[in-house]
Structure 1
Amino acid sequence: MTSPGTLPPGAGPTVLEPAAWQPLADAHAARADAFTVGHRERRSRHERHAIEDFLYEYYPTRPAQLRRWHPGAGVRLAPGPDGPPPHAGWRWYRTHDDGTVGLDVEAFLADRGEGVRFVADLVARTGARPAATGCFGLHEWAMVYRQGEHRHPLPLRLGQDGTDAVVEAHRIRCTHIDAFRFFTPAAAPRNTLQPTRATQPALEQPGCLHANMDLYKWALKLGPLAPGDLLLDAFDLARRIRVLDMRASPYDCTTYGLAPVEIDTPDGKAEYVAAQRAFAAESQALRTRLLRASGAVSASRGR
């Protein structure tokens, strides 16, 4: 179903009555709660999950932020018998003369326009490239290469020497700056590329697991321009990719009930590439929606 906030250019504002927007907001909150229940329960017990909690630490967000529903640009919410929608008190929203509440695109862009432009450019460039496979998730192996202390409190499936041997037996081809920057000093020179923040728009490609997880980050950066279903779809994709990322990593994740994807074997490589291609295709659909959300700005100014 098309989000209310992903309207074709030139279309007038859509007004949703409470009978239409309240169920959308409620369903969004319920879906967000289902996604975050494990994290919230662990947090109440001061426990940490080495795989799932990554999405809240690396992409610093709170469950309350995920459950806040935005209709997107070009949509106005009509007040109900109990008064205006909660959006009336949210940043970057304004109340119109007829009592409807909608996103003040001009105000949002005045604060966040540079970020919106960066996201739109990066997402468009990445989506225009073919997906490159064959990296086999070795970025995670390069992050522990020849290093006694590791980021996650999990044992290495092959031990340190076995892990180092896998790195040394493969060609490392990581295109993603935010994975590459965590390579150990001994591993960084082994990468065929040396990504930087400046070269990010030129190197990102849709076969990269981390570039596809980052679609969640870009949806967050679009803020209220991104309709609620887009944000949660990006979060769902990121959390599923994170599981593959760790299953294919050098860490032993069996304590979490996850069997390894043994990229050090031919069968494991084939399994990884098949999953990588499926996520690449899914990510391209999300990129189209992110571009539609950022492109809705030009059609929504002054509404």
Structure 2
Amino acid sequence: MTAACAPAGSDRLPAAVWLPRARAHEERADGLTAAHRGRRAARQRHAIDDFLYEYYGTRPSVLRRWHPGVGVRLEPGPDGPAPNGQWRWYVTDSDGVVGFDAAAFLADRAESVRFISRLLSAIATRPAFTGCFGLHEWAMVYRQREHRHPLPLRLGQDGTDAVVEAHQIRCSHFDAFRFFTPEAVGLNRLRPTRASQVDLDQPGCLHAAMDCHKWATKLGPAVPGELALDCFELARDIRLLDMQASPYDLSSYGEPAVAIETPEGKAEYVTRQREFAERAGRLRARLIEVCATLLETVEQPTPA
């Protein structure tokens, strides 16, 4: 696809700048996904990491594609126009300069972008709640003999059920709550739904923080590649804590438990939860800026 002129206010990057960034991005992405790709080739499962690829639908080949982001255009390199020009939602000018076509992207995904902007902006206004202690994972196996992961429970089924019954559960994230066992649903103080997500999601929630990766993926080439990988790396790090604090025994993976049924485990969980909330807050602010820039770009009046 070609365009006759560049969008107003866009930045141009010479090949000497964007080529090293693209190569560095590919190398970083390959490093982050190497273990998963190796296991996939060997047909091996991984109860911790598979979540990132199956639940979020992450594809290593897509993750390693570097995008400059909305409002940035790439000058031709030694081999001609940037390869991005062959990808969806990009345009190539007559002089070989390649850029992200915000108007075309919004024509396809405007509703999604506006929802992401509303949700992330709402989360950013709220204080972080850190009293959940990862009990959503416990509620997903409460009084259930068959579990999602082929791993033993650290405390056994009866011990796991006792921990759930000894605590107050306050899960605000619908995509965690919807996996509660039927017996655990009534124990949750909240009743999150998809419709109430904007009203309930809060920055201390591990799943809301992991979802920065989800929203970066949905914003696609509007998100600079470096930010996309930052979001993925955050989700990977949080997923480890999510499982360490779960009722599952991760000793087969060499991972120690965060025993949230003890005061020491609770303290460790909250400390790491707050650190993740701070990281997610910074990434969320950058994603909000991407949404704003994207929407502002297409809302600018067309020059006469």
Give the TM interval when normalised to the shorter protein: over 0.9
Give deviations 1:201-250, integer Å, cap 9, x for gaps. 00000000000001100000111111101110000000000000000000
Tell me the distance in 2 between the aligned counterparts of 1:288 and 1:247. Answer: 28
Instruction: Report the CA distance between 1:43 and its aligned residue.
Output: 0.5
**1:116 corresponds to 2:113:** yes
Structure 1 contact 143–183 (Cα < 8 Å) conserved: yes
| Map of 1:165 onto structure 2 | 162
**1:214 corresponds to 2:240:** no
| Map of 1:61 onto structure 2 | 58
Of the three residues 138, 143, 146, the one matched with 2:140 is 143
Tell me the distance in 2 between the aligned counterparts of 1:65 and 1:58. Answer: 16
**1:264 corresponds to 2:261:** yes
Tell me the distance in 2 between the aligned counterparts of 1:229 and 1:293. Answer: 13
**1:230 corresponds to 2:194:** no
Tell me the distance in 2 between the aligned counterparts of 1:75 and 1:46. Answer: 40
Structure 2 contact 48–243 (Cα < 8 Å) conserved: yes
Instruction: Report the CA distance between 1:56 and its aligned residue.
Output: 0.1
| Map of 2:3 onto structure 1 | none
Instruction: Report the CA distance between 1:13 and its aligned residue.
Output: 1.2
| Map of 1:100 onto structure 2 | 97
Structure 1 contact 11–299 (Cα < 8 Å) conserved: no
**1:293 corresponds to 2:280:** no
Runs of 4+ in 1 over 4 A off after TM superposition: none
Greater relative contact order: 1 or 2 (C-alpha under 8 angstroms, separation 6 or more)? 1
Of the three residues 15, 19, 27, the one matched with 1:18 is 15
Q: State the SS of the aligned residue for 1:190.
A: coil
**1:127 corresponds to 2:124:** yes
Tell me the distance in 2 between the aligned counterparts of 1:292 and 1:215. Answer: 13
Of the three residues 45, 52, 72, the one matched with 2:69 is 72
Give deviations 1:47-68, integer Å, cap 9, x for gaps. 0111011100000021001000
Instruction: Report the CA distance between 1:42 and its aligned residue.
Output: 0.4
Cα–Cα, structure 1 residues 150 and 231, in superposed 2: closer, same or farther, change >3 Å?
same
Instruction: Report the CA distance between 1:12 and its aligned residue.
Output: 1.9
Tell me the distance in 1 between the aligned counterparts of 2:92 and 2:126. Answer: 42
Structure 1 contact 174–180 (Cα < 8 Å) conserved: yes
Tell me the distance in 1 between the aligned counterparts of 2:86 and 2:178. Answer: 40
Instruction: Report the CA distance between 1:98 and its aligned residue.
Output: 2.6
| Map of 1:82 onto structure 2 | 79
Instruction: Report the CA distance between 1:17 and its aligned residue.
Output: 1.2
Q: State the SS of the aligned residue for 2:182.
A: coil
Q: How many residues align?
A: 294
The alignment yields a C-alpha RMSD, in angstroms, of 1.3
Cα–Cα, structure 1 residues 298 and 199, in superposed 2: closer, same or farther, change >3 Å?
closer
* Letter matched to residue 256 of structure 2: A
Give deviations 1:101-123, integer Å, cap 9, x for gaps. 10111000000111111111100
* Letter matched to residue 149 of structure 2: H
**1:249 corresponds to 2:246:** yes
Tell me the distance in 1 between the aligned counterparts of 2:81 and 2:35. Answer: 33
Q: TM-score, normalised by structure 2?
A: 0.95
**1:155 corresponds to 2:152:** yes
Alignment of structure 1 residues 194-205 onto 2, 5 Å = 194-205=191-202
Q: State the SS of the aligned residue for 1:51.
A: coil
Q: Choose 289-298 or 113-122, whichever is displaced more.
A: 289-298
- Structure 2 residues not aligned, in runs of 5+: 1-6
Q: State the SS of the aligned residue for 1:102.
A: strand
Instruction: Report the CA distance between 1:299 and its aligned residue.
Output: 4.4
Structure 1 contact 155–252 (Cα < 8 Å) conserved: yes
Q: TM-score, normalised by structure 1?
A: 0.95
Structure 2 contact 80–96 (Cα < 8 Å) conserved: no
**1:278 corresponds to 2:271:** no
Instruction: Report the CA distance between 1:296 and its aligned residue.
Output: 1.3
Cα–Cα, structure 1 residues 297 and 40, in superposed 2: closer, same or farther, change >3 Å?
same
